[in-house]
Amino acid sequence: MAELKFVNRPKPLLAVTDSLLMIKRSSTHITRKMDELLGTFFQPIMFLVLFAAVFGGAIGGTLPHGVSYLNFLMAGIIVQTVAFGSTTTALAVAGDLQQGIIDRFRSLPMSNLAVLNGHVISDVFRNAISTIVMIITGFVIGFRTDASFLDWLAIAGLLLLFTIAFSWVAAIMGVLAKSIEGVQWLTFIIIFPLTFASSAFVPAESMVDGLRTFAENQPITHFVEAVRALMIGAPIGNHGWIAVAWGIGTLVVAMPIAAWLFKRKTTQ
């Protein structure tokens, strides 16, 4: 038998290696699941084209400053796709917990959090692909923008923060759910109202009073408005800072909760 050689590094660095391995694992999963590949590439295209075609006529004329509906929609549909995409993290976490593999990981001298890190970060990759696909499709069907390189960097940064924050929330749902169906239900009742009661698809001003107050102040609207302002060259107002605050705040709260729940669930 070959002589075994072990990596000799301080523990925090080993934890980083563990997370990288888990990211590789979760990312490989995406490439081996046909439905996820379809979801990553075709679902965003379908949503973008459908929404633009169905709502474009009705809403297009009512938008201020002569903004085209497609230009208005772009930011909303990207944020919506990312939000729904986080379901994948929840499903992956729940799937791991229901299979023996979690016992394997826990019996190894590896970092506990690496499993969650792997799913969350691979979700970022998948969302990045979806977003790029959507932006290219947008350009093909008539999306136009004056955004500078710096604007695009800011857009990428905001979306990255949103994806990571939302995926950690999804990780919590994945740990809490008792079954795969439970995950789908949980994410549905949280993500669906949050994305539709926002300014993702229609301006919040057009909504009835109570709903409007909610829509104008909830985090998804701030992300959508910030990304939209950067895309169409409108004033960003307070949306940028509020969105960043929401994103960081969510991360600070959701990460430890997810980690704690995960640990508790796996030691019972």
| Residues of the shown chain interacting with other proteins in the complex, contacts defined by CB under 8 A | 1-2, 4-7, 9, 14, 17-18, 21, 24-25, 28-29, 32-33, 99-110, 266-268
By beta-carbon proximity to other proteins, the closer residue of 28 and 62 is 28
Find the radius of gyration of the CA atoms of the chain: 20
Give a three-class secondary structure readout of 19-87. HHHHHHHHHHHHHHCHHHHHHHHHHHHHHHHHHHHHHHHHHHCCCHHHCCHHHHHHHHHHHHHHHHHCH
Task: Name the minimum Å distance from CB 39 to other proteins.
Answer: 16
By beta-carbon proximity to other proteins, the closer residue of 106 and 144 is 106
By beta-carbon proximity to other proteins, the closer residue of 29 and 212 is 29
Task: Name the minimum Å distance from CB 106 to other proteins.
Answer: 6
Task: Name the minimum Å distance from CB 7 to other proteins.
Answer: 5
Task: Name the minimum Å distance from CB 3 to other proteins.
Answer: 8
> Please, are residues 234 and 223 in contact by the beta-carbon 8 Å criterion?
no
Task: Name the minimum Å distance from CB 5 to other proteins.
Answer: 4
How far lies 142's CA from each of 49, 69, 79, 239, in Å? 11, 10, 19, 26
Q: At what angle do helices 87-98 and 239-266 cross, to 10 degrees?
A: 10
By beta-carbon proximity to other proteins, the closer residue of 54 and 108 is 108
By beta-carbon proximity to other proteins, the closer residue of 24 and 144 is 24
> Please, are residues 18 and 110 in contact by the beta-carbon 8 Å criterion?
yes
